[in-house]
């Protein structure tokens, strides 16, 4: 690029976890920033100088979807995926319709760029399927992608069966998230006697929820608990060693409380789990935390 344009190129060497994590420091020094791998989250002044270059998987979704069909006796199927596979949803739709299925493909809120797309922090497309204008309620969901985090979020958000089709392994399985619920129940249980909570706020562009943190602090105090708000950019287990609290409440990336839960010195709760600890939410109403449209600030 330098040879062809004469422009000076600076490469961000900091870790990046998504479109929610733009290199703001570098952005202030350049005329244009290319962000690879993710779709744009929001239309803000910050993103005006950012060009989002999405990456697309070349993996064939056909074998995985074919493997999923025996696991989907239901008629009305909602299809969901990540940005890496959104360009293949027409293929998925065709395969399902050829198998006699009625396919529902819906769009989430304004943080979602494509119909059928979910993020690790936003499953609004799943709920949109439930409330589709033609009233075709989903009976089950087919998730195209790898891993279990997104399917767990879909299942808890929509309270429906989820079948996962992994294009990289050409395999499919029905999601069983009982182990996940047991793990999160243990975290909640271990926090019941906590008196001092550290409420984590990230300054990252798409993760900052200061208003939520302030509301949670107020809730804690209303229930006779103490809480302090801890503001930082990058949230890691090592950083948490510096704070003597009984438990943390995470308002940053929802995956932080889940993916690294065993590495933190004390329990790390999501806002919804914190409400259970305070007695303001029933255990049966546990869902994954999400950052939805209008909640970032």
- The pLDDT tens digits for 3-57 are 888 889 999 999 989 999 999 899 989 999 999 999 988 777 778 899 999 999 9
Using CA atoms, how far apart are residues 38 and 121, in angstroms rounded to an integer? 13
The residue with greater pLDDT, 102 or 42, is: 102
Beta strands in the chain (DSSP E): 33-36, 50-53, 76-81, 102-104, 140-144, 162-166, 171-174, 196-202, 226-232, 247-250, 268-269
**Can you tell me the mean pLDDT for 49-69?**
95
Give the CATH fold of the 179-285 domain.
Rossmann fold (3.40.50)
Q: 32: which 2 tokens?
A: 């244009």
- Inter-axis angle of helices 271-278 and 210-222, to 10 degrees? 10
**Can you tell me the mean pLDDT for 184-196?**
96
- The pLDDT of residue 3 is 86
Average pLDDT, the chain: 92
**Can you tell me the mean pLDDT for 110-139?**
83
- The pLDDT of residue 78 is 95
User: pTM of this prediction?
Assistant: 0.89
Answer whether 88's CB lies under 8 Å from 61's CB.
yes
How many C-beta atoms lie closer than 10 Å to residue 44's C-beta?
12
- The pLDDT of residue 70 is 98
How many C-beta atoms lie closer than 10 Å to residue 177's C-beta?
17
- The pLDDT of residue 125 is 93
Q: Which of 44-48, 118-122, 146-150, 236-240 has the lowest mean pLDDT?
A: 44-48
- 62-176 and 179-285 in the same fold: yes
- Check whether 293 has a pLDDT greater than 90: no
- Check whether 250 has a pLDDT greater than 80: yes
Query: What is the tens place of the pLDDT at every residue in 198-213?
Result: 999 999 989 999 999 9
**Can you tell me the mean pLDDT for 115-133?**
85
Q: Is 73 exposed, middle or buried (0-12, 13-18, 19+ CB in 10 A)?
A: exposed
Using CA atoms, how far apart are residues 12 and 92, in angstroms rounded to an integer? 36
How many C-beta atoms lie closer than 10 Å to residue 57's C-beta?
19
Report the candidate in 165, 161, 239 with the shortest Cα–Cα distance to residue 198: 239
Q: Which CATH number fits domain 62-176: 3.40.50.11850, 3.30.565.10, 3.60.150.10, 3.30.930.10?
A: 3.40.50.11850
As a whole-number percent, the residues of the chain with pLDDT over 70 amount to 97
Phi, psi of 197 (to 5 degrees): -115, 140
**Can you tell me the mean pLDDT for 90-98?**
97
Answer whether 89's CB lies under 8 Å from 72's CB.
no
CA triple 169-290-254, angle to 5 deg: 70
Q: Which of 32-36, 42-46, 191-195, 280-284 has the lowest mean pLDDT?
A: 42-46
Strand partners, 226: 196
Give the residue extent of every domain in the chain.
2-53, 62-176, 179-285
Residue matched to tokens 């399927």: 129
- Check whether 133 has a pLDDT greater than 90: no
**Can you tell me the mean pLDDT for 237-259?**
92
- Check whether 134 has a pLDDT greater than 60: no
CA triple 127-211-284, angle to 5 deg: 40
Report the candidate in 216, 202, 215, 201 with the shortest Cα–Cα distance to residue 273: 216
- The pLDDT of residue 296 is 64
Using CA atoms, how far apart are residues 91 and 56, in angstroms rounded to an integer? 14
Answer whether 116's CB lies under 8 Å from 81's CB.
yes
- The pLDDT of residue 135 is 47
């Amino acid at each position: 690029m330098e040879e062809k344009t004469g422009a000076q190129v600076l490469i961000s060497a900091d870790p990046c976890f998504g479109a929610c994590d733009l290199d703001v420091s570098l952005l202030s020094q350049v005329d244009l920033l290319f962000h690879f791998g993710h779709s744009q989250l929001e239309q803000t002044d910050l993103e005006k100088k950012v060009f989002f270059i999405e990456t697309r998987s070349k993996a064939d979704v056909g074998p995985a979807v074919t493997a999923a069909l025996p696991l989907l006796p239901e008629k009305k199927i909602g299809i969901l995926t990540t940005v890496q596979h959104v360009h293949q949803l027409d293929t998925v739709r065709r395969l399902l319709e050829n198998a006699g299925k009625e396919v529902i493909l819906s769009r989430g809120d304004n943080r979602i760029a494509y119909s059928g797309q979910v993020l690790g922090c936003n499953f609004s497309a799943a709920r949109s399927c439930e409330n589709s204008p033609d009233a075709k309620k989903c009976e089950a969901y087919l998730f195209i992608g790898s891993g279990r985090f997104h399917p767990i979020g879909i299942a808890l958000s929509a309270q429906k069966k989820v079948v996962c089709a992994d294009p990289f392994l050409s395999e499919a399985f029905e999601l069983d998230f009982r182990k996940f619920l047991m793990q999160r129940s243990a975290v909640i249980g271990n926090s019941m006697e906590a008196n001092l909570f550290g409420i984590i706020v990230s300054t990252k562009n798409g993760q900052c929820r200061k208003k939520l943190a302030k509301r949670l602090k107020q809730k804690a105090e209303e229930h006779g608990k103490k809480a302090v708000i801890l503001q930082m950019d990058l949230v890691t287990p090592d950083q948490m060693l510096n704070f003597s609290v009984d438990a943390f409440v995470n308002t940053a990336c929802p995956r932080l409380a889940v993916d690294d839960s065993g590495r933190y010195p004390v329990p790390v709760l999501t806002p919804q789990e914190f409400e259970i600890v305070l007695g303001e939410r029933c255990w049966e109403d546990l869902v994954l935390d999400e950052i939805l449209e209008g909640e970032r600030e």
